[in-house]
A and B are shown apart, each in its own frame.
Chain A
C-alpha cells in the first residue's frame, strides 16, 4: 500500500542562517515544522551552507519536536542532507542521548551515585 505522506525539504539556512547555535534557533526551526510533524510527513533537513553547529541547537530542536510527537517516531521521519561531518556527529550524539535518557530515566541517578566513590585528589 502506497503511503500518502509527502516528503518536505527544509532549508535550515533559510530559517536560521549559517549558524545552528542556540536552542532558540532549534525551537524556531521546529516551530516551522510542527504542522508537518503532526501530519506524519517525511522531513529532510537540508544543512547546505550551515557551517557551525552546537548541541544546544539540536537540543532545542528535539525538545520542541518531542513535545508534539514521540522522539522515536520523529526519528523515523527525519533525515539530514548536506550536513557536515561535525554537524552529523552532533546531531546523532544529541539524538542518541535524548533517546537514552527517555529509555533509561534513572540512568543519571545511577551514574551520579557511582561518582560518589570517584577519587578526588587535593591540590
Chain B
C-alpha cells in the first residue's frame, strides 16, 4: 500500500494543478492507496469533491483507495463532517446545516435531474440566512443546471458528477465546484472542430461560443448562458479540462495552459452574494 500525503488545498489554479498531480500520482502507483491528511489543515470544497471522485475512481479499478481518518485534524474533520464528506463514507455521520454547500455525488439515470434541482434549491440556495427572491433562485438553479446537463450529455463519465461548495458570509460570496471525470471538453470540441492547432484552453473557449454545431444539430448554449449569468452576478467562472483553464468574469475570458493534464471537467464558480444576500 502506498501512502500519499495530502497538503492543504485552496482553490487557486495552482491548487487545482496540485490536485491533478495528486491524481496522476495515485493512479500511477498501480497499488493500493491510502490518503493521509496529517499535513493538511484546510480543504476547500473543490478539493473535497476532487478527493471523493479520486477515491471512487481508484476503487472502481483494480486497486483500492482508503482514507486515513485518524490523520485528519479535529478542525478539518468537523468541516468534513458538516459538509457531508464523512457521511459519504459513513452514513452514521450526518451532515448539518452551516456554511457548507453539502458534498454530493450524482449519477444521472435517464436524464432525471429532479434530485439535483431539489439539492440546488434546498441545500445550495435554501439556507435560512440567505434571502433570495424566487425569481433569482430559479435563475441560479437553471444556470447551475446547465453544468450538470453538459456533463450528462458529453462527459461519457457514466453520468457521475460530484458537487461541493461553501458560503463565505464575511466575504459575501459563494463557491461551488462541479466536476466529472469524463473525457473532458477539449476531447469533445476537438471532434467537432477538428483543428489540431488549437490548444486545450482554446478548445474550451470554443465551448463558450453560442450555437456550436457538429452535424447540423443545434448545440452549445449551456456554457455561454452560464457565463452571461456569471457576468451579471459579478462572479467568476473557471473551467478546467485537459491542459487548459478558461476563466470568465465581467472583464472577459482568459485562457491559460498548464502542463498537468486532467481528464475530466471541473466547473468552479464564485458568485458575489451581496446582490442576493440579506
Chain A positions within 8 Å of B, measured between CB atoms, are: 19, 21-25, 51-56, 59, 62-63, 66, 84-86, 90, 93-94, 97-98, 100-101, 108-109, 111-113, 115-116, 118-123
From B139, B213, B217, B257, A122 is in contact (CB under 8 Å) with B257
Give chain A's interface secondary structure class.
helix
- The number of inter-chain residue pairs (CB within 8 angstroms) is 117
Q: A52-B117, A111-B209 are in contact. Are A120 and B201 (CB under 8 A)?
A: yes
A86 to B198 CA separation, bound complex (whole angstroms): 34
Q: Which of B14, B139, B206, B256 has the most CB of A within 10 A?
A: B139
Scan residues 210-260 of chain B and give those whose CB is less than 8 A from a CB of chain A: 210-213, 217-222, 224-225, 244-245, 254-258
From A86, A93, A108, B138 is in contact (CB under 8 Å) with A86
Determine, out of B48-56, B145-153, B159-167, B263-271, the stretch whose residues face the partner at the interface: B145-153
Q: Cβ of B202 < 8 Å from any Cβ of A?
A: yes
From B145, B198, B219, A59 is in contact (CB under 8 Å) with B219
List 17 additional contacts besides A51-B138, A90-B142, A123-B245; criterion CB under 8 Å. Answer: A21-B117, A21-B145, A25-B111, A52-B117, A54-B142, A54-B145, A55-B225, A56-B153, A63-B217, A90-B225, A97-B218, A98-B211, A108-B209, A111-B209, A112-B206, A116-B202, A120-B256
A111 to B175 CA separation, bound complex (whole angstroms): 31
Number of residues on chain B facing chain A (CB within 8 A): 46
Contacts of B141 in A (CB 8 A): 52
A100 to B220 CA separation, bound complex (whole angstroms): 13
- 15 A-B residue pairs with Cβ-Cβ distance under 8 Å, sorted by A, are A23-B153, A51-B138, A52-B117, A52-B138, A53-B142, A63-B218, A66-B218, A97-B211, A119-B255, A120-B257, A121-B254, A122-B256, A123-B13, A123-B14, A123-B257
Q: Are B198 and A112 in contact (CB under 8 A)?
A: yes
A63 to B211 CA separation, bound complex (whole angstroms): 12
Q: Are B195 and A112 in contact (CB under 8 A)?
A: yes
Q: Are A24 and B111 in contact (CB under 8 A)?
A: yes
Residues 167-185 of B, flagged 1 when their CB comes within 8 A of A and 0 if not, give: 0000000000000000000
Q: Are A22 and B222 in contact (CB under 8 A)?
A: no
Q: A100-B211, A120-B199 are in contact. Are A54 and B138 (CB under 8 A)?
A: no
B245: nearest residue on chain A (CB-CB)? Answer: A123
Contacts of B149 in A (CB 8 A): 21-22, 54-56
A118 to B255 CA separation, bound complex (whole angstroms): 8
A84 to B142 CA separation, bound complex (whole angstroms): 12
Q: Are A84 and B17 in contact (CB under 8 A)?
A: no
Contacts of A109 in B (CB 8 A): 193
Q: Are B213 and A22 in contact (CB under 8 A)?
A: no
Q: Are B218 and A59 in contact (CB under 8 A)?
A: yes
Q: Cβ of B90 < 8 Å from any Cβ of A?
A: no
From A52, A63, A115, B198 is in contact (CB under 8 Å) with A115
A120 to B211 CA separation, bound complex (whole angstroms): 23
Residues 58-71 of B, flagged 1 when their CB comes within 8 A of A and 0 if not, give: 00000000000000
Q: A52-B145, A54-B149, A97-B218 are in contact. Are A86 and B211 (CB under 8 A)?
A: no
Contacts of A100 in B (CB 8 A): 210-211
Q: Are B198 and A93 in contact (CB under 8 A)?
A: no
A86: nearest residue on chain B (CB-CB)? Answer: B139
- B209 → chain A closest CB, angstroms: 6
Q: Are A19 and B225 in contact (CB under 8 A)?
A: no
A115 to B195 CA separation, bound complex (whole angstroms): 10
Q: Are A101 and B135 in contact (CB under 8 A)?
A: no
Contacts of A115 in B (CB 8 A): 198, 202, 205-206
- B147 → chain A closest CB, angstroms: 10
